[in-house]
Amino acid sequence: MSSPDPEMKIPEKPQLFVCHGDDGGPRMHPCRRVQEALCTTGIEYEKVIAAHGSPFPFMRKGSREALRDATGATKLPALKLPDGTVITHSRGILSWIATQRANGR
């Protein structure tokens, strides 16, 4: 078992990976809904704009390999918790937010 690298910085806040439309997109857009829920609940997070272009692979601009490296997936939105747990899909993220709210966070 290897010891953790003391130079590696572990984020203290969750990282939310979103598309370029993020909080300025349509109200029904998953990236926007998740951000609004985090803000409403008062959960601080670090926003990472991880993709540009269309959700359809053949219409995307650039690669989502950096997103895959960070989260293990190429779907947005994705929430990476400080312990390394990754929650994908807006429904899963919204469920986690509701649990935080119920726990008094």
If you ran DSSP here, which 8-state letter would residue 50 be given? E
* Domain count across the chain: 1
Query: Is 12 or 99 the better-scoring residue by pLDDT?
Result: 99
In a domain, 95, yes or no: yes
In a domain, 87, yes or no: yes
Average pLDDT, the chain: 82
Per-residue model confidence (pLDDT) at position 2: 43
Q: Which domain holds residue 75?
A: 15-102
In a domain, 94, yes or no: yes
User: What are 78's strand-pairing partners?
Assistant: 17, 88
CATH number at residue 74: 3.40.30.10
Query: Among the residues of 1-105, which ranges form H helices?
Result: 30-41, 65-71, 90-102
Q: What are phi and psi of 43, to 5 degrees?
A: -85, 120
Residues 39-68: tens digit of each pLDDT: 999 999 999 988 766 555 555 566 788 899
Identity of residue 87? I
